[in-house]
Chain A
Amino acid sequence: MAELRRNARQNHLTLAKQVISIALERGLQPGEHLPEQAFSEACGVSRTPMRAAFKILEENEILSWREEEGYFLETGPQDGLTEAAQLLEEMEDSLATRILSDRAARRISDVQSVSALVRRYGRSRSTVLNALKILARDGIVTQLPGRSWAFQPILDTPRSIEESLQFRLILEPQAITAPGFQLDAQKAGLLRAQMQAHLQTRQGRIGSASFMRIDTEFHGFIAECSGNRFARGALLAHHRLRRATQKDLSIPDFRLRQSLEEHLDILDSLEQLQFDVAADLMTLHLRRSRIRRPEAANRGIVPLTRGPLTRGPSA
């Protein structure tokens, strides 16, 4: 029970959604009282986390609070309670996305207190905590002793992007050749259609953001099909991190198209059960995907006689 309580405390959002499920199951109507004790027992948690969950629902105008009476349902099943729950989740996700995108853009530092985030985003403590927990699920932040949270490395520098690529070169081909790879044919078909649609756009019109989306979807799909559960888990988490933090890719149109063609070739091989070929194509694709930037500059910065630069000093 103690473990259950601890878990529940760690995710007030889940609890809030559980409250909505119970309200829906019991057919509660607007104006009906939600007794703390009864809901605490129904959810298997103490009254403190239940109050936190009620507070989230109050902030989102799903419940109201009356002095010395407690919480009452404001939104009933006919008023869109299900949608409210959905919105609640999206809102939490959206704050998590904002926090992450601000970290990736270096607007906030890599160690944050909940209070600082509450001040920055003008949201309640519980809302911020829930957003942090969403990020923690993907290993993007970890809680430090005390009240601070630390961001883990994200794909925001040339060095981290290079490290990501090296990591993927080790794992992605292995994810394909590991015994038990199962291609989801229906999803493969959908991805193929999306990539072909991109290839049919006019030159220069494939946007970097939409390419990134389809790229992480494709690589995430390969991971999902892997027969090795550890490779699958590690790669899925990594692609989520890529999708969330590696947004500003600026790849020439030629390479974007070449990359999509390479995805299609990999799918072809997988559909023909040629896993070794698919793994080799994946290696080739990843090597070609190494982002190239001019690494030298003339006008005296480093004469050719002294050889090329590998990276700037920061990398």
Chain B
Amino acid sequence: MNSRDNLIYMANQIARNFATLDDAAAANAIAAHIVKYWDPRMRVKIIDSLEQNESKLLPVSRNAVAVLRDTHQSDAP
């Protein structure tokens, strides 16, 4: 799998491990995990996947990446 698909897979995999949380909590937990452990380039790429309406992202992953994008934008200088 190429690196973009791999990042989508990774985001979805994190999502599946937070499946017992409600949607909002899951999205925040996934986003927090990505912020804590992913290199900024990986984060940009996964946000880019959301912008491109990537269909492989699970719904909860999409919500999480949206949280990530909003945080990313608010943190931008």
User: Are these two chains actual partners, yes or no?
Assistant: no
